[in-house]
Amino acid sequence: MKAILSDAVDWYVRLHDSHVDVATHAAWQAWHGADPRHAAAWARLEQLQGRLDNAPSGAARTLASARRDRRHAVKALALLLGVGVVGWQGYRVSPWSADYATRIGERRQLTLADGTRLDLNTDSRVDIRYDASQRLIHLRRGEILVETAKDPRPLSVRTGEGEVLALGTRFSVRQGAGVSQVAVAAHAVQVRPSGTSQVVRIDSGYGLQFSADAVGPLLPLAPGAQAWAQGMLVSVDWRLGDVVEALARYRPGYLGCAREVAGLRLSGAFNLDDTDIALASLEDALPVRARRLTRYWVRLEPVEVG
C-alpha cells in the first residue's frame, strides 16, 4: 500500500501543476480506475488534504507543497497516515472537523477525484467517502452545490434525514434543523428519507424539503435559488425580514431586523462576499437604517422622521 500511496502523491503533484493538460487527466483516470486500491489511496489522500486545509494555522504543511518538494510530501503523508494518526484522531473528534469545511461568510469550490465539482456554501462541512462501489458525500452542516461527473459508481449525498441519489445532474442540498432541502438545476435526483421506504424523484427546476419520515411537496425553484455559488443573494418580492435572515448566514455575530420594518417587500441582488455593501443597498432601497453597536451586532430599524 505504501507504493500505491506514493503513486497517489505523484498523481497529486501532476494534477496540481499549472501546466496540467487533458492527457494527464485521462491518464490519471485510467490509473484511478485500474485497481480499487488506487481509488482507496486517492480517497485517503483527499481526506488528508481536507483535514490539513481545515487544521489551525501552522498545525501542518499541506500536500500542496508537493508541487515544490515531493520527498517532503511523501514523508509527511507517511507520518500523518501512520505515526501521526493519534494526533489526527484528536483533531478529528472535534465537532468542527470535517474533510472539507467553510467558515461563516466563506464559500469554497472543489473538484473531487472523479471530476465532480462541489461548491460549499457558508458555514458548511462535508466528508467524502469514495470507494470501488460508491461515491458518497456526507453533508454534516450547511449547504452544497453538486455538479456530477460521469462515473459508473452511483453518487449520493447523505444528510441527517436521508440520502439524495444523483441521476446525472446539478443540484444543491442544504442541511437544516431536522430537515433537508433539495433543489435540482439539471436532470434529476431521487430522495430517500431514512425513516421510510418512500422514494421521490425531483426533476430539473423543482425542489422540496424532507425529514427522516416525511417528504414535502414539489415546488418550482425560486429565481436565483443557487446564485450563492456566484456570491449573490437574489430576492424577488421578498420580505425584508427574510432577506436579513438570509444575509445573516454570511455574517458572524448578530444581524437582525426590527418588527416594524420586517414586512417591507423588495426585489434585488445582494453581494454575499461583503454584507456591509448588501446592508448599504437595503438602506438605499428602503426607509431603514442599520444600527450598529459593534461590527458583530447590527439591526435594521425604521428611519426616524423629524
Q: Which mean pLDDT values do the consecutive 10-residue runs of the chain (306 residues) have?
A: 73 68 76 77 68 48 50 54 41 58 93 94 94 93 96 95 94 95 97 94 97 96 93 95 96 94 95 95 95 93 80
Query: Degrees (nearest 5) of the Cα angle 82, 83, 87?
Result: 100
Give the per-residue pLDDT at 49. Answer: 61
Query: Could you tell me if 200 and 270 lie in one domain?
Result: no
Query: Could you tell me if 64 and 123 lie in one domain?
Result: no
Give the per-residue pLDDT at 93. Answer: 38
Q: What's the CA gap between 172 and 98, in Å, rounded?
A: 19
Query: Could you tell me if 298 and 214 lie in one domain?
Result: no
Query: Could you tell me if 113 and 211 lie in one domain?
Result: yes
Task: Residue 169: give its domain's CATH number.
Answer: 2.60.120.1440
Query: Could you tell me if 207 and 114 lie in one domain?
Result: yes
Give the per-residue pLDDT at 16. Answer: 64
Give the domain-ending residue among 198, 220, 242: 220
Give the per-residue pLDDT at 6. Answer: 72
Range of the domain at 153: 100-220
Q: What's the CA gap between 254 and 223, in Å, rounded?
A: 27
Q: Does residue 236 sit within a domain?
A: yes
Judge contact between 246 and 255, C-beta under 8 A. no
The label of the residue with cell 493538460 reads 21
Give the domain-ending residue among 220, 239, 271: 220
Query: Could you tell me if 85 and 106 lie in one domain?
Result: no
Query: Could you tell me if 248 and 192 lie in one domain?
Result: no
Task: Residue 254: give its domain's CATH number.
Answer: 3.55.50.30
* Ramachandran region, residue 105 (left: φ > 0; alpha: ψ -120 to 50; beta: rest): left
**CA-CA-CA-CA dihedral for 48, 54, 60, 66, to nearest 10:** 60
Query: Could you tell me if 106 and 203 lie in one domain?
Result: yes
Q: Does residue 226 sit within a domain?
A: no
Within a 13 Å sphere around the CA of 65, how many CA atoms are in the beta-carbon half?
13
- 10 Å CB burial of residue 159 (0-12, 13-18, 19+) is buried
Give the domain-ending residue among 220, 242, 258: 220
Q: What b/e string do you get for 72-91 counting C-beta neighbours within 10 Å, with b at 16 or more? A: ebbebbeebbeeeeeebeeb
Give the per-residue pLDDT at 20. Answer: 64
Q: What's the CA gap between 164 and 106, in Å, rounded?
A: 24
Give the per-residue pLDDT at 100. Answer: 92
Q: Does residue 225 sit within a domain?
A: no
Q: What's the CA gap between 8 and 164, in Å, rounded?
A: 29
Query: Could you tell me if 118 and 199 lie in one domain?
Result: yes
Query: Could you tell me if 236 and 195 lie in one domain?
Result: no
Domains held by the chain: number: 3
Cross-strand partners of 255:
298
Query: Could you tell me if 208 and 256 lie in one domain?
Result: no
